[in-house]
Amino acid sequence: MLRESGILPFLLVAPALLFLAAILGWPLVSALLLSLQNITIIGSEGRWVGLSNYQAILGNPGFWKAAGLSAVWVVANAVVQTALALAAALVLNQRFPGVRVARTWIVLSWIVPTVVVVMIWRWLFSTSGGMVNPLLMSLGIIDRPIGFFGRPWTAMGTLIFINSWRWFPFLALMMLAGLTRIPDELFEAARIDGAGAFQRFRRITWPLLTPTLLVLAVVGTLLSFNVFDIIWLLTAGGPSGGTRTLPVMIYETAFKGYRLSEAATISVMATLLLMTFAVLATRWLAREADER
Amino acid sequence: MNRTPAWNIVLGVVVGFFTLLIGLPFWWVVTGSIKAPQEIIARTPTFFPHSFTLQHFDKLLSSSDYPVYLANSLIIASASTVITLLLAVPAAYAFFRMRFFGRETLYRAILLAYAFPSIVVLIPLFGMFVRLGLVDTLLGLVVVNAAFALPFSIWMLRSFFASVPKEIEEAAIMDGAGVFVILRRIMIPLIAPGLASVAIFAFVMAWTEYVFASVLIISDVKRPIPVGFAGIIGQYQIDWGLLLSGSVLAILPVVVLFGLVGRWFVRGLTEGAVK
């Protein structure tokens, strides 16, 4: 399938690579340089201060709190989204009237601008005219309206729900891809041997889907760590810093606090954390794949 | 496959759950946008609208720059789609149909670009764009959106290129066809569904992007929908009717696009995913 073609492949790859290097690579290098200076506002001159920004950040309890919230955010999103996406993918892999339509339109929540997602849910969760409070009250789950964004933990939980609502359909389609690769013959054979539906899931679907799930867990972790706009637009990191994850902290420090170098330092630390995770996870995945 | 009645009930319940989970919020937004103001904020919400009015749409179109935001969004999303395709297709062709030194490493580097935090890039990129004069231009946003869509787009094209039989390409090479002729005459027609899914992905990414647009665009007349919409939220006392009608107009173009080509996107995603 592959052929040697001298310099040609480089010419084909070069535009994309140079483009990415200029728009993503160079800013990353600049962030690194910025973190070693003490620049406050864009365009102002700074001095080189070595690693003192890093020292300051590591001693800042706000950074550790944000890192902890980011961890909570990533893990909770992974759990909620995987559960929803797996259920949706299993259903979309069945045959029922309208399945084609369902496969296309399940991603409706993902193709809509984030601001609109935010607006929709802010309205639905609001205490004036929102649908969620009356719904929960009529189901007997709560007895009076809740201000969902009023307290740190309910705000965090609500944000996790909204973000999962937006992203789970995308993951569901990727899982569906993994499911459609499992040969039907396996299920037929298991059925003939008298395996029930649950056993077929446990013995065939689950083990064969695990590699897909692991890859998605890594991709999903990276994706949800980076989520900023939903949090910023709904709670701006509040109440009392309860939803202030690392991306929110970076944005706030740079564009509200005008401490660019400090923001760059947090960025570099966040990138290091993520890259370490990505590299370890891919190594681990490769080893898992070898053992299978 | 035949199923027992019990399974059919479970299936029906789960399908119903997801239909409501995805559909219900949109139902409430669309119906809300045509309800009279006092019905929108009624203590007991109505499922079917009892009133009908177009006053929210009227107010939106006459008192804000919404049509301008729509036009900006369409320009930005279309242009970054085109750039993404122009960069992704040749690169994917080389990555997935040719052998060359450093291929694996370069491919990994591109995938890694997909992983790192976009917010990290925002600060230095702003400084860079100030110097290049790209702040407050649509071009600046086009470039940023294309860059963020590119890694995943290349990845998505993988299975489509892999599915083209090598004999076709070899025959063309025998006949002396150059690489661009092969790309244009053979590859592109054969991987058309893949191109469609990349195009939709890039379009949706640009259409929904908010953070970079909110920082890189300064003047009102250059705002795309997400920023213009957020501006409406801040500008007025919370006027739900205005926001709901704004949501409907922001959703409409992508829904129409997705209705036309959505099934190709789903095919591309499910065939290209995870490997």
Q: What is the ipTM of this complex?
A: 0.84
On whether residue A16 sits in a domain, the answer given is: no
| Coil, strand or helix at A110 | helix
Hey, is the C-beta of A254 within 8 angstroms of any chain B C-beta? yes
On whether residue A195 sits in a domain, the answer given is: yes
Mean pLDDT by 10 residues, chain A (292 residues): 68 89 87 83 74 85 91 92 91 84 87 88 80 81 80 91 92 83 80 80 82 79 86 86 90 85 88 82 74 60
Half-sphere exposure of B216 (CA within 13 A, CB side): 32
Question: If we measure between CA atoms, which residue out of A40, A236, A20, A267 comes closest to residue B119?
Answer: A267
Confidence of residue B275 (pLDDT cuts 50, 70, 90): very low
Question: If we measure between CA atoms, which residue out of A60, A59, A35 comes closest to residue A49?
Answer: A35
Tokens of A155: 């705000």
pLDDT (0 to 100) of residue B240: 80
**Identity of the residue numbered B15:** V
pLDDT (0 to 100) of residue B77: 94
Distance CA B39, CA B215 (A): 36
* 191-210 in chain A: CB under 8 A from chain B: 197
Please tell me which residue of chain B has the smallest CA distance to A269: B120
Shortest Cα distance, chain A CAs vs residue B68, angstroms? 17
Please tell me which residue of chain A has the smallest CA distance to B97: A2
Question: Residue B196 in contact with residue B264, Cβ under 8 Å?
Answer: yes
Distance CA B67, CA B73 (A): 10
End-to-end CA distance of chain A: 26
On whether residue A103 sits in a domain, the answer given is: yes
On whether residue A32 sits in a domain, the answer given is: no
Whether A275 sits inside 8 A of B116 (CB atoms) is: yes
**Identity of the residue numbered A56:** A
On whether residue A232 sits in a domain, the answer given is: yes
Q: Where are the alpha helices (DSSP H) in chain B?
A: 5-32, 37-40, 55-63, 66-97, 103-115, 118-132, 138-162, 166-174, 179-181, 188-190, 192-208, 211-216, 225-235, 240-272
Question: Which residues make Cβ contacts (< 8 Å) with residue B54, sequence separation at least 6?
Answer: B34
Residue A113: which of B109, B117, B225 has the nearest Cβ? B225
Count of structural domains, chain A: 1
On whether residue A10 sits in a domain, the answer given is: no
Considering the entire predicted model, what is its pTM?
0.86
Determine which of B120, B155, B256, B264 to mutate to test the interface with A (most A C-beta atoms within 10 Å).
B120
pLDDT above 70: residue B272: no
b/e per residue, B207-233, with b = 16+ CB within 10 A? Answer: bbbbbbbbbbbeeeebbbbbbbbbbbb
What's the burial of B123, exposed, middle or buried (CB within 10 Å: 0-12/13-18/19+)?
Answer: buried
Spell out which residues of chain A touch residue B25, defining contact as CB-CB under 8 Å. Answer: 109, 120-121, 124
Whether B147 sits inside 8 A of A112 (CB atoms) is: no
Question: Which residues make Cβ contacts (< 8 Å) with residue A53, sequence separation at least 6?
Answer: A35, A36, A38, A261, A262, A264, A265
Whether A111 sits inside 8 A of B127 (CB atoms) is: no
Residue B270: which of A87, A130, A177 has the nearest Cβ? A177
β-bridge mates for residue B99, sequence order: A4
Distance CA A56, CA A58 (A): 6
Whether B22 sits inside 8 A of A106 (CB atoms) is: yes
Task: With residue A206 as reference, give the H or E element that holds it.
Answer: helix A206-225
pLDDT (0 to 100) of residue B115: 66
Please tell me which residue of chain A has the smallest CA distance to B122: A27
pLDDT (0 to 100) of residue B43: 67
Spell out which residues of chain A touch residue B246, defining contact as CB-CB under 8 Å. Answer: 116, 119
pLDDT (0 to 100) of residue A1: 43
Spell out which residues of chain B touch residue A197, defining contact as CB-CB under 8 Å. Answer: 7
pLDDT (0 to 100) of residue A162: 94
How much is the average pLDDT of B119-139?
87
Whether A5 sits inside 8 A of B130 (CB atoms) is: no
Whether A226 sits inside 8 A of B97 (CB atoms) is: no
Please tell me which residue of chain A has the smallest CA distance to B27: A120
Whether A116 sits inside 8 A of B1 (CB atoms) is: no
Between residues B247 and A178, the one the model is more confident about: B247
**Identity of the residue numbered B46:** T
Between residues B178 and B23, the one the model is more confident about: B23
Spell out which residues of chain B touch residue A251, defining contact as CB-CB under 8 Å. Answer: 119, 122, 211
Range of the domain at A234: 60-291
Q: Where are the alpha helices (DSSP H) in A59-142?
A: 61-92, 99-105, 108-111, 114-125, 132-138
Residue B274: which of A215, A247, A271 has the nearest Cβ? A215
Q: What is the mean pLDDT of chain B?
A: 83
pLDDT (0 to 100) of residue B274: 41
b/e per residue, A11-36, with b = 16+ CB within 10 A? Answer: ebbeebbebbeebbbebbebbbebbb
pLDDT (0 to 100) of residue B273: 44
Whether A129 sits inside 8 A of B40 (CB atoms) is: yes
On whether residue A13 sits in a domain, the answer given is: no
Between residues B216 and B110, the one the model is more confident about: B216
Whether B121 sits inside 8 A of A94 (CB atoms) is: no
Question: Residue A251 in contact with residue A232, Cβ under 8 Å?
Answer: yes
How much is the average pLDDT of B111-120?
74
Spell out the long-range contacts of B160-163 with Cβ–Cβ below 8 A and sequence spacing 24 or more. Answer: B160/B190, B160/B191, B160/B193, B160/B194, B160/B268, B160/B271, B160/B272, B161/B92, B161/B93, B161/B96, B161/B97, B161/B187, B161/B191, B161/B194, B162/A1, B162/B96, B163/B190, B163/B191
End-to-end CA distance of chain B: 28
On whether residue A15 sits in a domain, the answer given is: no
Tokens of B243: 């926001």
Spell out which residues of chain A touch residue B154, defining contact as CB-CB under 8 Å. Answer: 16
Distance CA A115, CA A234 (A): 9
pLDDT (0 to 100) of residue A88: 92
pLDDT above 60: residue B193: yes
Q: What is the CATH number of the domain that holds A173?
A: 1.10.3720.10
Q: Read off the pLDDT of residues B5-29 as tens digits, 9 standing for 90 and up.
A: 887 888 889 888 998 889 888 888 8
Tokens of A75: 């893990």
